[in-house]
Amino acid sequence: MNFFKSFLASCLGSLIAFVVLLFLVFVFMAAAVASLSSDNEQVIVKENSVMHLKLDVPITEMEVENPFEGLPIPGATDGTIGLIQLKQTLRYAEKDENIQGVYLDVSFFQGGYAKASEVRQALIDFRKSGKWVVAYSEMMSEQSYYIASAADKVYINPEGQIEFNGLAIEVSFFKKMFDKLEIKPEIFRVGDFKSAVEPFMLEKMSEANRLQLNELVTDLNTNILQDIATSRQIDPVRLKEISDKMLATTTEEAQKLHLVDSLVYYDQVLAELRGRLLIGDDEDIHFIKYNKYQKTISTYSSSKNEIAVIVADGDILPGKAQQGSIGSDTFAEEIRKARSNKNVKAIVLRINSPGGSALASDVMWREVTLASKEKPIIASMGDYAASGGYYLAMGCDSIVAEPTTITGSIGVFSVLFDLSNFLDNKIGITFDEVKSGEVGELVTFTRPLTPYERAIWQKSTDRIYDSFTSKAAEGRDMNVEELRKVASGRVWSGTQAKQKGLVDVLGNFDEAVRIAAEKAGIENDYKLRFYPKYKSFIEEWLEGAENAAKIYAIQEELGPNYHLYREVMKMKRLQGTQARMPFELKFQ
Q: Which of 149, 387, 414, 420 is flagged as catalytic? A: 387
* 189 vs 199: CA distance, rounded Å: 14
Which tens digits make up the pLDDT trace of 208-248?
999 999 999 999 999 999 999 999 999 999 999 999 999 99
Q: At residue 309, what is the residue type?
A: V
pLDDT, position 585:
47
Checking if the pLDDT of 2 tops 90, the result is no
Q: How confident is the model at residue 441 (pLDDT cuts 50, 70, 90)?
A: confident
Please check the confidence at residue 495 and state whether its pLDDT lies above 50.
Answer: yes
Instruction: Give the rounded distance of the alpha carbon of 583 from its chain centre.
Output: 15
pLDDT tens digit string along 199-209?
999 999 999 99
Reported pTM: 0.84
More confidently predicted of 14 and 506: 506
Query: How is the chain split into domains, by residue range?
Result: 49-165+246-296, 306-413+467-580
Least confident of 162-176, 257-271, 399-413, 545-559: 545-559
Sheet of strand 262-263: strand arrangement: 262-263, 153-162, 132-140, 99-105, 49-54, 286-289
Q: What is the pLDDT of residues 442-461, one digit of tens each?
A: 888 899 999 999 999 999 99
**For residues 579 and 487, what is the distance between their CA atoms, to the nearest angstrom?**
12
- pLDDT, residue 238, reads 98
131-151 mean pLDDT: 97
- Number of C-beta neighbours around residue 320 at 10 A: 13
DSSP category for residue 317 = E
Find the helix or strand (DSSP H, E) in which 288 lies: strand 286-289
CA distance 456 to 342: 45
- State yes or no: is 435 an active-site residue: no
Same topology between domain 49-165+246-296 and domain 306-413+467-580: yes
pLDDT tens digit sequence for 497-525: 999 999 999 999 999 999 999 999 999 99
Q: What is the DSSP string of 448-517?
A: PPPHHHHHHHHHHHHHHHHHHHHHHHHHHT--HHHHHTT-TT-EEEHHHHHHTTS-SEE--HHHHHHHHH
* pLDDT, tens digit, 9 for 90 and up, residues 109-122: 999 999 999 999 99
Question: Which of the residues 87, 194, 498, 500 is marked catalytic?
Answer: 194
Rounded to an integer, the average pLDDT of 337-357 is 96
Whether the Cβ atoms of residue 377 and residue 397 lie closer than 8 Å to each other? yes
Confidence of residue 586 (pLDDT cuts 50, 70, 90): very low
Tally of CA atoms within 13 A in the half-sphere of 192 that contains its CB: 10
49-165+246-296 has which CATH code? 3.90.226.10
pLDDT at 527 over 70: yes
Q: Is the pLDDT of residue 78 over 90?
A: no
pLDDT band for 194, please (50, 70, 90 cuts).
confident
CA-closest candidate to residue 159, choices 268, 263, 272, 266: 263
For residue 52, which phi and psi values (nearest 5 degrees)?
-95, 110
Q: Is the pLDDT of residue 20 over 90?
A: no
- Each residue's pLDDT tens digit, 262-288: 999 999 999 999 999 999 999 999 999
State the pLDDT at residue 63. 82
Residue 569 has pLDDT above 60, yes or no: no
Task: Give me the mean pLDDT over the 166-171 stretch.
Answer: 91
pLDDT computed for residue 534 by the predictor: 66
> Is 340 tagged catalytic?
no
pLDDT at residue 349 is higher than 90: yes
Closest CA to 174 of 1, 405, 415, 402: 415
Cα–Cα distance for residue pair 243/165, rounded to 1 Å? 4
CATH architecture of 306-413+467-580: Alpha-Beta Complex (3.90)
Is the separation of the CB atoms in 194 and 582 below 8 Å? Answer: yes
Q: How far apart are CA 264 and CA 137, in angstroms?
A: 10
Phi, psi angles (nearest 5°) of residue 540: -65, -40
Instruction: Summarize the confidence of residues 379-406 as an average pLDDT.
Output: 96
The helix (run of H) or strand (run of E) holding residue 90 is: helix 83-95
The pLDDT score that the predictor gives to residue 59 is 92
For the segment 539-558, the average pLDDT, to the nearest whole number, is: 57
Quote the pLDDT of residue 195. 80
Q: Does 464 have pLDDT greater than 50? A: yes
Pairing of strands 355-357, 576-580: antiparallel
192, pLDDT greater than 90: no
- Answer whether residue 31 shows pLDDT above 60: no
pLDDT on residue 543? 53
**Sign of the C-alpha dihedral computed for residues 107, 112, 117 and 118 taken in this order:** negative
Q: Share the mean pLDDT of the chain.
A: 86
